[in-house]
Structure 1
Amino acid sequence: MNLEKILAISGKPGLYVLQVQTRTGFVAESLVDGKKITVNLKSNVSLLSEISIYTYEGEKPLSEIMQKIADKENKQPAISHKEDNATLTSYFKEILPDYDEERVYPSDIKKVLNWYNMLQAKGLVVDTVPAVAVEEEAAVVADAAPAKKEKVEKE
């Protein structure tokens, strides 16, 4: 799942898509209502691609957690972020069994599930192809392209 241009802006509800950068900040479009807002550089903004969840072995990128939720739910909506804390922690334990329960709070789990459901509602929950596979495919295409060109020249 590509979260490169998806933003969470402190003090603003929902998620935003980065549209264009300006001298004093940037313009973002709300995923909830489609309205565009200008955000100055002093605002506390988090790129979802830079967010990680604590585990006992280290940290897991949010994109991996979102992909696990998508796989579990078959790209359908996850449970509501408004469920009680016991239900949320139990669900998250299924998704990420080794998450650090002392450092990942129920409020964090609510945010992740809320964000996932917002992205899913907008059709942004898609399979991601591992970077290695993309590089291998590009190499195959690059190797095949000159061979085709030679055949054309010989004919």
Structure 2
Amino acid sequence: MEYNRIIAVTGLPGLFELVSSKNDGAIVRSLDDRSTKFVSSRIHNFSHLESIEIYTVRDNVNLVEVFNAMEKSADKLPDGKDAAALKAFFKKIYPDMDFERVYASDMKKMIKWFEVLKKNEIEIKLTEPAEEVEEPAEVAEPVEEAAAPAKTKSAKASAAKAEAAPAETEEAKPVKAAKKKAAPKKEAATEEATEEKPKKTARKKKEE
């Protein structure tokens, strides 16, 4: 049984192991009589012992720190009904506790909870945070290479022009040559026109 699964339920004495959670409550198992039952969240509130903090004259501390101080102490646990004895005990084992905000009822609960935890042989310690697995930097390199071919529209257009340019220059040369060869036809036409003019003048002389 792990400490992080131990909860306190408002309105119910003792501590419970959280068996499973539901939308409208939870199934819990009592650490006192080992009975299992459903507890509605509409009627009761649940508090994980792991999340409970205690007021001190400095910063708040987790309840685990107070429990650890109780474990190290050689003094006998006080009677929960004696408020003066409770205060004297905690002043000795944890003098930084803010006794103006930590009431006798709170100290009584801590004594009771500590006894239940020890009876069930539950190790009192916080859950260690899960280690984050760092991904190697090399994984990001293929992503950059894959993104490189994606070019802008202007880049694609310029690339298309560059590819089409050689084909245009090679095809343009025969066209120009064809135009130059067609040019002599005009010269021939002018020569024919000049040859026809003397014929007309020859007719006029015959008529005279």
TM over 0.5: yes
Q: What amino acid does structure 2 have at the position aligned with 1:52?
A: E
| In structure 1, C-alpha distance between the alignment counterparts of 2:14 and 2:107, rounded to whole Å | 15
Q: What amino acid does structure 2 have at the position aligned with 1:105?
A: Y
Q: What amino acid does structure 2 have at the position aligned with 1:120?
A: K
- Residue matched to 2:98: 100
- Shift, 1:73, TM fit: 4.3
| In structure 1, C-alpha distance between the alignment counterparts of 2:91 and 2:70, rounded to whole Å | 11
Q: Which runs of 5+ in 1 are unaligned?
A: 136-155
Q: What amino acid does structure 2 have at the position aligned with 1:41?
A: S
Instruction: Kindly report which structure 2 residues correspond to 1:14-93, keeping only aligned pairs within 5 A, or say none.
Output: 14-42=14-42, 43-73=44-74, 78-82=77-81, 84-93=82-91
- Shift, 1:80, TM fit: 3.4
* 8 A contact 2:10–2:45 mirrored in 1: yes
Aligned length: 129
**Could you say if the C-alpha distance between residues 47 and 128 of structure 1 is closer, same or farther in structure 2, counting changes exceeding 3 Å?**
closer
* 8 A contact 2:50–2:126 mirrored in 1: no
Within the alignment, does 1:12 sit opposite 2:12 as a pair? yes
Provide TM-score, normalisation by structure 1: 0.73
% identity of equivalent residues: 33
Runs of 4+ in 1 over 4 A off after TM superposition: 127-132
Larger relative contact order (CA 8 Å, sep ≥ 6): 1
**Could you say if the C-alpha distance between residues 108 and 27 of structure 1 is closer, same or farther in structure 2, counting changes exceeding 3 Å?**
same
Q: Which runs of 5+ in 2 are unaligned?
A: 132-208
Task: Tell which structure's C-alpha radius of gyration is larger.
Answer: 2
| In structure 2, C-alpha distance between the alignment counterparts of 1:32 and 1:81, rounded to whole Å | 17
